[in-house]
Structure 1
Amino acid sequence: MPTAPPAPVQGATPVTHRALAPDLARGLMLLLIALAHAHMYLGGHPVGFRGYALDGGALDRLVAGIQILLVDGRALPMFAALFGYGLVQLANRQLAAGRTWPQVSKVLRRRSLWLLAFGFCHALLLFFGDILGAYGLVGLIFVGLVQRADRTVLRAAVAGLVAHVAVMAAFGLLTVSGPKGDTPAAMADPIEATVTRLIGWMGMTPTYFAASVVPAFLFGIWAARRRLLEDPVTHRGLLSRVAVVGTGLSIVGGVPLTLIDTQVWAPGDLTAVSAYALHSLTGIAGGLAYAAVVGLVAARARADRPGTVVRALAACGQWSLTCYLLQSVIFVAVFTPYFGGLSTRVGDAAASGIAALTWLATVVLAALLAPGGRRGPAEVLLRRLTYGRR
């Protein structure tokens, strides 16, 4: 069962009462999300397993290599772990407020269902690589594990890892054997792009994205029961081990695909698919390691008087849903042929630069508006749909 928090709170936690580390992790994670997504708006180039151009210049290949090694397949598991962590926090508050588990389960399912709806709208209007739908779907299916024993959760996580490898291997085989076409973001016809986005989202959400989310989501549930990010000082030793081991596994497992997608190494298809699956599997360790690193940073920061940068990043984390959606709005405005038109005019390096600036803009926006307890508009809407008007 989840460990109840010290003070009962019904509904969403007031912004001023939130723990620092989870929000700090979400704020930093959004930079990785932006970097991982921006190049997916480019078109007109042959691409490798992770969607980076194979005919880019030296700087483009360097940026692609760094991101494949350190960002791609690492940001999504980090986000998934934080999602599982947050789901337990939400359940704890409801239980501490006197609700029964069936009542809490209903709230969690309602929130997950609305996340799925958010994901559909996100894909319909903006981005085929939406991940909100996968979180909503996973929350709907696995919400019962929030109150199951640790052993059951960890067994499910191991099963999820096996399924993850199988799904990634299947997608790797499709990559080496299937036709290569432009991403929806690079299509000149907005109607065609919309239809393609929805088809891709409906196909990838219950398969590729769900398989990527489940293992880290379950490990996040396990971590939340121990309050690893809410009390990082007490758990500094465990967080340090996760950070070191997870980062090491992530880098070692990411090297083969990095060499392949930057065209330093050209193995056979079977080896390439194996490298792709290994990259994705070890990326789960990397995502958990990144969350642990942020916990260690939070352990060193003064919770009562964090610095300006820490406060700004935490504010971005408090507005994580709004900032995530804003990234897509800006990318559509900048890259798509029927708006900014940069999708076929810039390379991976420039796209990553735009991604970093976009993330920085959302950090500044959240830092300016979040103080005083103001929530992001997407957070307000999700909260209203989940809890009603109270």
Structure 2
Amino acid sequence: MTDQTTGATTLQPVAARDRIATLDVLRGVAVLGILAVNAAAFALPMAVAMSPEQSPFPLTGSSAVALWTVEVFFHQKFVTLFSMLFGVSIWLVGGERRDPARGRVLRRRLLWLGLFGLIHGAALWYGDILLLYAWSGLFVMLMRSMQARPLILIGAGATLALATIQAATMWLTVNGPSGLVDAMNNDAMALADDAVAASIAAYRSGWPGGLIENLKAWGILQGASLLGYVFATVPLMMLGMGLFKAGFFLGRLPTRVYVALIAVGGAVLALLGALEWREAMAGPSIKAATDGWAAVVASYPLLVTLAYASGLILLTTRSLGLVRRLFAPVGQMAFTNYLTQTLIMSTLFYMPWGPRLMGRVDYPEQWAIVIAVWTVQLIWSPLWLSRFRMGPLEWLWRCLTYGRRLPLRRTPRTVAQVAAGSPMA
């Protein structure tokens, strides 16, 4: 979803030859990874997605392992990466603040994204992130002329500070004064059983009931997003922009920097995996099997995200290109693939024209669906791009942004380049 313009007077969308392979790869992996987390938010009511202990399924055996996999390897890691990459796109589209023409294009791009987000969230799925990105982007665009160092220091510093506040809060829910612990746990459990069953029944009742239930959840989540999550999203976008300016996403830093980030993130991931495994095996009836330390470590997804990104950058820039060929097409169509995921999942779980599986699919079966969608998008993305310049929704977004109809089909020459495997096509 990255555009790059050519100047302040005659603005043109990004050409295929101008694309940055590492960004496409990272964006592709991110949009696929996000689905692994979002699956539960499609398959079960929001209360369960936020607090899995309220699940209608027993969190034992394969269900516990499936949920553990999401919590350890995916939860917050890929949306963090996606947020950082959106910060990069703000810079690539808007350029320096002294360029008013590109600034106007960026504002139009963000406003259209906000409209897409409103429609997506209100009509299809409450978990929309596009509106949050459009809102956050209006702040980050004011900072796009900052140098890499202050962007990185402010972005990383604010992100880690918020993570530490979250970690302290989560620790206090287990180890704080007994009155505070009891109150917080009782409030969390107040939504269980009857409320979850009623929500499932509403989703499965048909279009009016499902739409109303989605709107209720959307209002709650988007209120939190626009007034709260923005404070976490803006620093991540700043960090992403700063890392791009510093050459991190282009693979220009010394290999030892990437290896060090992989080592740190790998250590955090291993510790998180061990702690979450202990809690998963203890079961939801055993409160705080790790005395809250699993939640403390989980509050620092940025460290794991940087490790993931570093590994993918090394593989993309220093390998034979397999990673690029596999994931870059998905990343080039990230906007289309993200919204296609919503269409597929909402159709399966609560849209009136689908089987309405809401509340019927346990976590292992959710994983089967996720892998099936991954497979479809890994196959269809390069097939589509072999004939077209961009994804259909990327094309629509760009046409709206630039105010004119842009070419979509590839010329015979570019089709031949794609068929020959040219990275420039």
In the superposition, the TM-score normalised over structure 1's length comes to 0.83
Q: Does 1:246 align with 2:265?
A: yes
Q: Does 1:285 align with 2:303?
A: yes
Displacement of 1:223? 1.1
Partner of 2:121: 123
1:343 counterpart SS class: coil
Partner of 2:210: 190
Partner of 2:385: 370
1:147 counterpart SS class: coil
Partner of 1:386: 401
Amino acid at match of 2:160: L
Partner of 1:88: 91
Displacement of 1:144? 1.6
Partner of 2:411: none
Indicate if the aligned counterparts of 1:81 and 1:216 stay in contact, CA closer than 8 A: yes
2:300 counterpart SS class: helix
Displacement of 1:59? 0.9
Displacement of 1:290? 1.4
Indicate if the aligned counterparts of 1:169 and 1:276 stay in contact, CA closer than 8 A: no
Displacement of 1:164? 5.0
Give the Cα–Cα distance (whole angstroms) in 2 for the partners of residues 128 and 108 of structure 1.
26
Displacement of 1:263? 4.0
Give the Cα–Cα distance (whole angstroms) in 1 for the partners of residues 311 and 17 of structure 2.
23
Q: 1:296 to 1:267 in 2, by over 3 A?
A: same
Give the Cα–Cα distance (whole angstroms) in 1 for the partners of residues 108 and 46 of structure 2.
41
Q: How does 1:266-285 map to 2 (within 5 A)?
A: 266-267=286-287, 272=292, 275-276=294-295, 278-279=297-298, 281-285=299-303
Partner of 2:413: none
Larger mean CA deviation between 74-83 and 373-382 belongs to 373-382
Amino acid at match of 1:282: Y
In the superposition, the TM-score normalised over structure 2's length comes to 0.77
Which of 97, 104, 108 does residue 106 from structure 2 map onto?
108
Give the count of matched residue pairs: 374
Give the Cα–Cα distance (whole angstroms) in 2 for the partners of residues 345 and 192 of structure 1.
20
Partner of 2:160: 161
1:356 counterpart SS class: helix
Displacement of 1:278? 3.9
Indicate if the aligned counterparts of 2:122 and 2:214 stay in contact, CA closer than 8 A: yes
Give the Cα–Cα distance (whole angstroms) in 1 for the partners of residues 294 and 268 of structure 2.
14
Q: 1:48 to 1:23 in 2, by over 3 A?
A: closer
Q: 1:253 to 1:209 in 2, by over 3 A?
A: farther
2:215 counterpart SS class: helix
1:229 counterpart SS class: coil
RMSD of aligned Cα (Å):
3.4
Give the Cα–Cα distance (whole angstroms) in 2 for the partners of residues 13 and 203 of structure 1.
34
Displacement of 1:22? 0.9
Give the Cα–Cα distance (whole angstroms) in 2 for the partners of residues 170 and 207 of structure 1.
19
1:72 counterpart SS class: coil
Q: 1:285 to 1:208 in 2, by over 3 A?
A: farther
Structure with max Cα Rg = 2
Partner of 1:43: 44
Displacement of 1:48? 7.7
2:144 counterpart SS class: helix
Indicate if the aligned counterparts of 2:268 and 2:304 stay in contact, CA closer than 8 A: yes
Q: 1:356 to 1:106 in 2, by over 3 A?
A: same
Q: CA offsets per residue over residues 63-116 of structure 1, 9 Å max, x none?
A: 111111110111110111111122222234xx5xxx933443333233222222
Indicate if the aligned counterparts of 1:242 and 1:288 stay in contact, CA closer than 8 A: yes
Which of 315, 328, 342 does residue 328 from structure 1 map onto?
342
Identity of aligned residues (%): 22
Which consecutive unaligned segments of at least 5 residues does structure 2 have? 174-183, 407-425
Indicate if the aligned counterparts of 2:329 and 2:381 stay in contact, CA closer than 8 A: yes
Q: How does 1:68-87 map to 2 (within 5 A)?
A: 68-87=71-90
Give the Cα–Cα distance (whole angstroms) in 2 for the partners of residues 157 and 297 of structure 1.
24
Partner of 2:316: 298
Larger mean CA deviation between 344-353 and 373-382 belongs to 373-382
Give the Cα–Cα distance (whole angstroms) in 2 for the partners of residues 91 and 360 of structure 1.
34
Q: Does 1:29 align with 2:30?
A: yes
Larger mean CA deviation between 129-138 and 188-197 belongs to 188-197
Displacement of 1:291? 1.6
Q: CA offsets per residue over residues 220-261 of structure 1, 9 Å max, x none?
A: 11111023223x265433222222222322443465455445
Amino acid at match of 2:369: I
Q: How does 1:50-69 map to 2 (within 5 A)?
A: 51=52, 53=55, 55-69=58-72
Partner of 1:352: 367
Give the Cα–Cα distance (whole angstroms) in 2 for the partners of residues 254 and 217 of structure 1.
27
Give the Cα–Cα distance (whole angstroms) in 2 for the partners of residues 127 and 139 of structure 1.
21
